[in-house]
Amino acid sequence: MEPEGLVYLDEAGMNSQDSDYPYGYCQEGQRFHALKSGKRQGRVSYMAPWCDQQLLAPFTFEGCCNRTVFELWLEFILIPTLKPGQTLVLDNATFHKGGRIAEPVEAAQCRLLYLPPYSPGLNKIEKCWSWLKARIRHCIEQFDSLHDAMDSVLKAAS
Q: How many residues does the chain have?
A: 158
Average pLDDT over residues 2-17: 88
Residue 123, domain member (yes or no):
yes
Residue 108, domain member (yes or no):
yes
Distances (CA, A) of 78 to 50, 57, 68, 89: 11, 6, 14, 13
Residue 96, domain member (yes or no):
yes
Supply the CATH number for residue 50's domain: 3.30.420.10
Residue 70, domain member (yes or no):
yes
Give yes or no for a contact between 69 and 44, defined as CB atoms under 8 angstroms apart: no
Residue 26, domain member (yes or no):
no
pTM: 0.79
Euclidean distance between CA atoms 139 and 148, whole angstroms: 10
Domain ranges, residue 103: 6-12+44-156
Average pLDDT over residues 110-124: 92
Residue 23, domain member (yes or no):
no
Burial annotation 35-74 (CB, 10 A radius, 16+ → b, else e)? eeeeeeeebbbbbbbbbeeebbbbbbbeeebebebbbebb
Most confident of 25-34, 74-83, 149-158: 74-83
- Percent of the chain clearing pLDDT 70 (strictly above): 91
Residue 27, domain member (yes or no):
no
Residue 33, domain member (yes or no):
no
Domain count within the chain: 1
